[in-house]
Amino acid sequence: MTEGNFVDYVKIQLTSGNGGKGSTHLHREKYVAKGGPDGGDGGRGGHVIIRGNDNLWTLFHLKFKRHLRAGHGEHGSSGRSTGADGEDVYLDVPLGTVVRDTETNDVLFEITEHGEERIASQGGMGGRGNWHFKSSTNQTPRYAQPGTPLEEKYVTLELKLLADVGLVGFPNAGKSTLLSVITSAKPKIADYEFTTLKPNLGIVEYRDFQTFVMADIPGIIEGAAEGKGLGYYFLRHIERNSTLLFLIPADAEDITKQYEILLDELRRYNPEMLDKDRLIAISKCDMLDDELKAELKTELDEKLGVDYIFISAVAQQGITELKDKLWKMLNV
């Protein structure tokens, strides 16, 4: 998936259908005296229904769609015939899509399962025909109910990627390189900061044909809360991850400080993210000899309060051990 094809935020106008009118028809038939009321009910207006589809990974198919309109219900007719219901309109979205009311910013619902259907815009109810209103004192009612009007609203669709492991790190820490090595994803890789501008997903193959999903988001820098760098825009994609993998390069000036900065930025975005399982991967360790690695390990044992592992995506060092640790954390 190219960066231009990844769309995770869409605003769209939804319009349901009007309910059909009830009929005021009076029965007319040869040899039937005073046939009485027989007007049928109006049909229901069409709903706009949002449906989960696990074959979709992005909202790109909605990028240029600004309006969705459902069909109107048909009016009732003679012989107590009910009008046809309006045609429902289905809007397929990827799993993890949050639907908000654009005006109030309230969350309406979230789609998390394949085939899950939720009504986003309710169709109008059909009006009742005049035969409902006949009685001993009103044997020929010449009125019926109108259908209820359509519902029109603006909704915002936000995609929060559903992955098992989320990659967190400063720009140019090697996140995209790691993703390209342990999955079949092909993220953009270059030797400058903020190479990744859109999230990437990859499926990690493990032993016995088992898999888990890893998400790579653009790098975080100190001060992201104030809008520096790319800000917090993409952090929602790792809100649903059960495990966070912090990637810090071995040539960083202070590994512990970088880890604490990243933790603080996550805390300022959403304190609940600190409750997730965490693992630190010291990347680019192929630049270290055994002596330097031993010194760094001694220092990290004293300062870090979380498990860590040395890896090198380019040299394929520690990749299998990393998969083992992540799998164990995901299946505790």
Q: Is 283 annotated as a binding residue?
A: yes
Alpha-carbon distance of 184 to 203, in angstroms, equals 7
Q: Is 49 annotated as a binding residue?
A: no
Q: Are strands 97-101 and 107-111 parallel, antiparallel or unpaired?
A: antiparallel
Q: Is 78 annotated as a binding residue?
A: no
Cβ 243 vs Cβ 276: under 8 Å? yes
Q: Is 137 annotated as a binding residue?
A: no
Q: Is 179 annotated as a binding residue?
A: no
Q: Is 109 annotated as a binding residue?
A: no
Q: Is 284 annotated as a binding residue?
A: yes
DSSP character string of 43-54? PPPPPEEEEE-T
Q: Is 194 annotated as a binding residue?
A: yes
C-alpha angle 282-288-293 in degrees, rounded to nearest 5:
70
Q: Is 197 annotated as a binding residue?
A: yes
Judged by DSSP in three states, 59 sits in: coil
Q: Is 285 annotated as a binding residue?
A: yes
Q: Is 180 annotated as a binding residue?
A: no
Cβ 192 vs Cβ 172: under 8 Å? yes
Beta carbons within 8 Å of 321's beta carbon, 6+ residues apart: 309, 311
Q: Is 153 annotated as a binding residue?
A: no
Q: Is 79 annotated as a binding residue?
A: no
Q: Is 281 annotated as a binding residue?
A: no
Q: Is 219 annotated as a binding residue?
A: yes
Q: Is 286 annotated as a binding residue?
A: yes
Q: How many Cα atoms occupy the beta-carbon half-sphere of 325 within 13 Å?
A: 19
Judged by DSSP in three states, 40 sits in: coil
Alpha-carbon distance of 317 to 287, in angstroms, equals 11
Alpha-carbon distance of 313 to 250, in angstroms, equals 12
Q: Is 105 annotated as a binding residue?
A: no
Q: Is 86 annotated as a binding residue?
A: no
Q: Is 22 annotated as a binding residue?
A: no
Q: Is 144 annotated as a binding residue?
A: no
Q: Residues within the annotated binding site?
A: 169-176, 194-198, 216-219, 283-286, 312-314
Q: Which residues are part of a known binding site for GTP? A: 169-176, 194-198, 216-219, 283-286, 312-314
Residues contributing to the annotated binding site for Mg(2+): 176, 196
